[in-house]
Structure 1
Amino acid sequence: MSDVDLRARIPADVETPDRLLFNLTTRQVAILATAGAIAYLLFRTLLDVLPMPVLLAGLVPLLGTATVLALGRRDGLSLDAWLLAAVRGSRTPRRQVPAPGGVLKTPRWAPALTSAEGELTPPTPLRLPARSIATNGVVDLGGTSAALVAVSTVNLGLRTPAEQAALVGAYARWLNSLTAPVQIVVSTQRVDLAGHAQRIADAADLLPNAALADAAADYAEFLLDLEDERQPLWRTVTIVHTATGARRDQDALRAAEHTAGALQSLGASTRVLDGPAVAAVLAAAVDPYTLPVPGERALPDEPITAEEPS
């Protein structure tokens, strides 16, 4: 195979909506057109009733509000979507608790919950998209099942153009083999070097050779300095397969296993996540600023036991 230049220009935001008219998106055109139609109807209806200055003074705020909603942005969202999220957030109860069977009423003899602002309202059930996580890693989304695959990255920059073409072709074959939508999540988390350094320091005291013990202690100090100065990060790639129907659990797992096998041919390390691993991934997604807990995480409905002290 001859060397091929595989360079391609990829837009920074692949989810940018298409421009429909005058460099405006469909959403912006719809907002402006609706506001313009309402303003025109009001103008034609009230033209013979109100003086022209008063009529224009009443229509300017309407058109100005529509323009701000259509063109304004805040926190990376369009202003209309941001306002809609703000309204939903203001109407959402502040106190929610996990209660699949509903929140039990407080007994009459129990004292009322109060705070500095007064009496607290009773909590409401917390509704999450994921209803349960099976031991095999399948997530029940209520009519839809999802299976997760952890994938490592592959460095294309160190490959020859022919090898890059082969990898891109294999990746394209995997994309063409998909029969259902998938989600590829790329996230970045902090690396816990302090815990690793502590384990090395503890093991250094048990080494019989003094030179090896000193080298291990120096390496532990190096890791601590690296965490303080650089704050290293590690990147995770997770692919989510969903399925519906009577055999949705089996179909989601089968699709995840197919993806794991297909991407292994690219040289990536893949693994279909089981229940504890899926629980850890979801916990890290909702709290990305906290270091992951070492060891396996228990499932939401799994009892936690401890070893009896000897």
Structure 2
Amino acid sequence: MNDIVRIPADVEAPDKIIGGFTARQIIIFGGTGVLLYGGYLLLADHVPPLALAVFAVPIAVAGIVLAIGRHDGISLDRYVLAALRHRRAAKHMTRSAAPAPPTWIAARPGPSPSPLRLPARGVTEHGLIDLGPDGVAAVAEVSTVNFALRTAEEQDALVSAFARWLNALSGQVQVLVRAERIDLSAAIADLRNSAPALPHPALSHAAAEHAAFLTDLSARHDLLRRQVLLIVREPAAGPHGSTALRRLDEAARVLSAGGLVVRPLPATAVHALLTSCFDPTAPPLPDGDDVIGGSR
């Protein structure tokens, strides 16, 4: 008899330690209590109890809110720390050091731009992303299958193939699902150019109507396509670059049993991918444009 084991959707949820509270919440509660108790010991002989309560209540409320509050799925203490880091971080960054302003400018200068440090140092000729001291990363595009339309036996085979790949992992991987805009201008132009050459007038009319439909669809909607990427990372440079590519080959071999096609991205495709991540609204680069230089 098979037992059904329920796995929570949020597998990274922190464990509850005492009374349904996590370790982080208990630390916040404890720190707030220690702060209030220490203040009471220091001020009890010098400040009336009512004045102590006036100062203690806001501190206690702030500690409780920080411990149990959440904002956009993030605990409030993490959110506050992120806000403080953002407040202190540089807001203007440049690729190179900005020159000093001329001495004749009378206006009070603002903060100087900080250097922009990107995690990617370059892209090799084999399509590997050079992460500097963090190693290298190899990227592959993975096809998809419609799981819901498969039979129970086929679904079991798909799950088994994916489980075999997970059990065979020997390093860090990331499965990234991203959406990108589709440009139908080339397809529309091809339809319009080839419509007059079709062997039958009805086919030419259908091609022209389909081109008009695609034109109207592109004008009224933001057309998106889903892209699934598989990224493997090796912690160091040198021979580990070939290790990353070999791990992609192993993933392609194992996942092919589930009908998935794993296609490693060449250097030009990796360039275009990184560019679209920085500026999704920018038009695609022509072939051969070097966005991030570097080779190994």
TM-score, length-scaled by structure 1: 0.81
Alignment of 1:204 with 2:195, yes or no, is yes
Unpaired runs of 5+ in structure 2? none
How many residue pairs align between the two structures?
Answer: 292
Partner of 1:147: 138
Alignment of 1:128 with 2:118, yes or no, is yes
Q: Check 1:30–1:298 CA distance in 2 against 1; reply closer, same or farther (3 A cut).
A: farther
Alignment RMSD: 3.2
Instruction: Provide the rounded CA distance (Å) in 2 between the counterparts of 1:233 and 1:139.
Output: 26
- Residue 239 of structure 1 is aligned with which of 226, 230, 233? 230
Q: Check 1:107–1:55 CA distance in 2 against 1; reply closer, same or farther (3 A cut).
A: closer
Instruction: Indicate the larger mover: 17-26 or 272-281.
Output: 17-26
8 Å contact 2:233–2:244 — kept in the other structure?
A: yes
8 Å contact 2:98–2:112 — kept in the other structure?
A: no
CA deviation after TM superposition for structure 1 residue 208, in Å: 6.3
Partner of 1:16: 13
Q: Check 1:140–1:209 CA distance in 2 against 1; reply closer, same or farther (3 A cut).
A: same
Partner of 2:49: 52
CA deviation after TM superposition for structure 1 residue 5, in Å: 9.9
The residue type paired with residue 219 of structure 1 is H
CA deviation after TM superposition for structure 1 residue 121, in Å: 4.4
CA deviation after TM superposition for structure 1 residue 61, in Å: 1.6
Show CA shifts across 1:173-209 (max 9, x none).
1100001121111122333335532332233355565
Partner of 1:33: 30
Show CA shifts across 1:6-48 (max 9, x none).
9986644343333333332222222122112221222233323
Percentage identity across paired residues of the two chains:
37
Instruction: Provide the rounded CA distance (Å) in 2 between the counterparts of 1:148 and 1:138.
Output: 7
CA deviation after TM superposition for structure 1 residue 285, in Å: 2.8
Instruction: Provide the rounded CA distance (Å) in 2 between the counterparts of 1:131 and 1:227.
Output: 36
The residue type paired with residue 116 of structure 2 is L
Partner of 1:272: 264
TM-score, length-scaled by structure 2: 0.84
8 Å contact 2:126–2:266 — kept in the other structure?
A: yes
The residue type paired with residue 251 of structure 2 is T
> Secondary structure of the equivalent of 2:166?
helix
Instruction: Indicate the larger mover: 256-265 or 224-233.
Output: 224-233
- Residue 254 of structure 1 is aligned with which of 224, 246, 250? 246
Instruction: Provide the rounded CA distance (Å) in 2 between the counterparts of 1:89 and 1:239.
Output: 30
8 Å contact 1:138–1:145 — kept in the other structure?
A: yes
The residue type paired with residue 56 of structure 1 is A
Alignment of 1:281 with 2:273, yes or no, is yes
